[in-house]
């Protein structure tokens, strides 16, 4: 499997591969251990080998296979570690980009709401001023009418004011 293929795999697939290789290493370790026991017990049988030298070569082949499997396992762990780091960095960059986009969108919405609120406030203020002017005009008219209707009251108030000044 090439490095590109490893990068395309999902995290779970990579972890499954790692677990499988771990199991394979464990089984090879068990096999090596069993073979060591057989060697210690001197129970190695020479099937195809005609002499002890050929048996030793077969045993060293097993050790070489175990060593190769262990090296492959360590290489895969290193590849998975690097791949996970790249994935995390990529996810971090994507998250930062999304956050920036969301922040810009939120700022735009806030600015729009602020402008809308200002317009509504200005409209309400203009309406209030118009209402005040209408009511003031109406009150002025009523006061003028009252004042004109009670002209005698005006004269009485003026006379009372003069009397007070004299006192």
- Check residue 58 and give its pLDDT: 64
- For residue 121, being part of any structural domain is answered with no
Q: Are residues 94 and 72 in the same domain?
A: yes
More confident residue, 45 or 121: 121
Q: Which tens digit of pLDDT belongs to each residue from 22-49? A: 999 999 999 888 878 877 665 555 444 4
Pick the closest to residue 28 from 84, 56, 69 (CA basis). Answer: 69
Q: Are residues 31 and 53 in the same domain?
A: yes
CA pair distance 65, 39, nearest whole angstrom = 17
Q: Are residues 132 and 107 in the same domain?
A: no
Q: Are residues 82 and 136 in the same domain?
A: no
Count: domains in the chain: 2
Q: Are residues 94 and 138 in the same domain?
A: no
| Mean pLDDT over each residue of the chain, to the nearest integer | 81
Q: For residue 54, name the pLDDT band (cuts at 50, 70, 90).
A: low
137's tokens: 């005009």
- For residue 67, being part of any structural domain is answered with yes
- For residue 74, being part of any structural domain is answered with yes
Q: Are residues 84 and 56 in the same domain?
A: yes
Dihedral angle sign, alpha carbons of residues 43, 48, 49, 54: negative
- For residue 76, being part of any structural domain is answered with yes
Whole-Å CA distances, 74 to 45, 68, 69, 140 = 33, 10, 9, 97
- Check residue 56 and give its pLDDT: 65
Q: Are residues 48 and 93 in the same domain?
A: yes
Q: C-alpha angle with apex 9: 6 to 12, nearest 5 degrees?
A: 120
- For residue 159, being part of any structural domain is answered with yes
Q: Are residues 106 and 74 in the same domain?
A: yes
> What is the rounded average pLDDT of the residues 104-130?
93
Q: Are residues 44 and 97 in the same domain?
A: yes
Predicted TM-score (pTM) above 0.85: no
In the block, which residue shows the tokens 């922040």?
A: 103
Q: For residue 105, name the pLDDT band (cuts at 50, 70, 90).
A: very high
Q: Are residues 7 and 52 in the same domain?
A: yes
Q: Are residues 14 and 71 in the same domain?
A: yes
Q: Evaluate whether 73 touches 21 at the Cβ level (below 8 Å).
A: yes
Query: Concatenated DSSP letters for 23-65?
Result: HHHHHHHHHHHHHHHHHHTT----SS-SSHHHHHHHHHHHHHH
> What domain range includes position 83?
3-116
- For residue 122, being part of any structural domain is answered with no
């Amino acid at each position: 499997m090439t490095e590109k293929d490893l990068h395309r795999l999902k995290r779970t697939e990579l972890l499954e591969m790692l677990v499988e290789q771990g199991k394979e290493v464990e089984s090879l370790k068990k096999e090596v251990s069993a073979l060591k026991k057989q060697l210690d017990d001197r129970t190695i049988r020479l099937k195809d080998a005609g002499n002890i030298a050929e048996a030793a070569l077969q045993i060293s082949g097993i050790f070489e296979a175990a060593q190769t499997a262990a090296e492959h396992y360590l290489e895969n762990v290193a590849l998975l570690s690097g791949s996970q780091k790249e994935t995390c960095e990529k996810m971090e960059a994507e998250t930062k980009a999304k956050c920036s986009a969301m922040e810009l969108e939120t700022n735009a919405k806030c600015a729009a709401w602020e402008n809308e609120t200002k317009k509504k406030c200005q409209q309400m203020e203009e309406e209030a001023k118009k209402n005040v002017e209408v009511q003031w005009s109406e009150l002025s008219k009523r006061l003028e009418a009252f004042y004109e209707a009670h002209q005698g009251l005006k004269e009485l108030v003026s006379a009372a004011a003069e009397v007070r000044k004299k006192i």
